[in-house]
Amino acid sequence: MKIKRIEHVAIAVKDLDAARDTFAKLGIACDYEETMAENGIRLAMLPVGESALELLEPQREGTRTAEWIREKGDSLYHICLEVEDIDAALVELRGKGVALLDEVPRTGHGGHRIAFLNPASTAGILVELVEMTGHP
């Protein structure tokens, strides 16, 4: 599996607008926002070099992000690694005994193909894989 880069580090937030404004004061501007109604998430991408910070605000109760914030407050949520071929990466990881939350890739932000790994197999850290296939 070829990991190209850390694509983004996700931060779960109660108030996306306030968090985005805070990072803007640090010189980190938002270049993309999206509401993913099916996932109950509003997100903003803030580029930092070749990576980004992703702010995630739950839009309804019962989502993973809402539960995370209820348990841990605003905090780091996951790390996203860009891979060349997500299908091959999942096959390889499954073969190595890594538990997957997503057995097959699904559509994520910007139309990219994503899959999450089970934190039980990744030192308790939620890891997302992404194959950059969509826009932006």
What domains lie within the chain, and their CATH numbers? 3-131 (3.10.180.10)
Confidence band for 133, pLDDT divided at 50, 70 and 90: confident
Residue 113: the pLDDT is: 96
Residue 135: the pLDDT is: 59
Rounded Cα–Cα distance for residues 98 and 81 (Å): 15
- Based on C-alpha coordinates, what's the Rg of the chain? 15
75-100 pLDDT per residue, tens: 999 999 999 999 999 999 999 999 99
* Number of CB atoms found within 10 A of residue 87's CB: 13
Does the pTM of the predicted model rise above 0.75? yes
Beta strands in 30-70 (DSSP E): 32-36, 41-48, 51-58
110-127 pLDDT per residue, tens: 899 999 999 999 999 999
* Number of CB atoms found within 10 A of residue 78's CB: 22
